[in-house]
Chain A
Amino acid sequence: NAGVTQTPKFRILKIGQSMTLQCAQDMNHNYMYWYRQDPGMGLKLIYYSVGAGITDKGEVPNGYNVSRSTTEDFPLRLELAAPSQTSVYFCASSPNGGSSGELFFGEGSRLTVL
Chain B
Amino acid sequence: GENVEQHPSTLSVQEGDSAVIKCTYSDSASNYFPWYKQELGKRPQLIIDIRSNVGEKKDQRIAVTLNKTAKHFSLHITETQPEDSAVYFCAASRGSSASKIIFGSGTRLSIRP
A contact residues vs B (CB 8 Å cutoff): 30-31, 33, 35, 40-45, 48, 50, 56, 58-59, 90, 94, 96-103, 105-108
Q: Which A residues lie within 8 Å of B49 (CB)?
A: 100, 102
B contact residues vs A (CB 8 Å cutoff): 1, 6, 32, 34, 36, 43-46, 49, 51, 89, 93-106, 108
A-B contact count (CB 8 A): 75
Given contacts A35-B103, A42-B89, A96-B97, contact A103 B6 (CB under 8 A): no
Given contacts A42-B6, A43-B89, contact A31 B97 (CB under 8 A): yes
Q: Smallest Cβ distance from A65 to chain B, in angstroms?
A: 18
Which listed residue (A58, A101, A102) contacts B100, Cβ 8 A?
Answer: A58
Which listed residue (A35, A44, A90, A99) contacts B96, Cβ 8 A?
Answer: A99
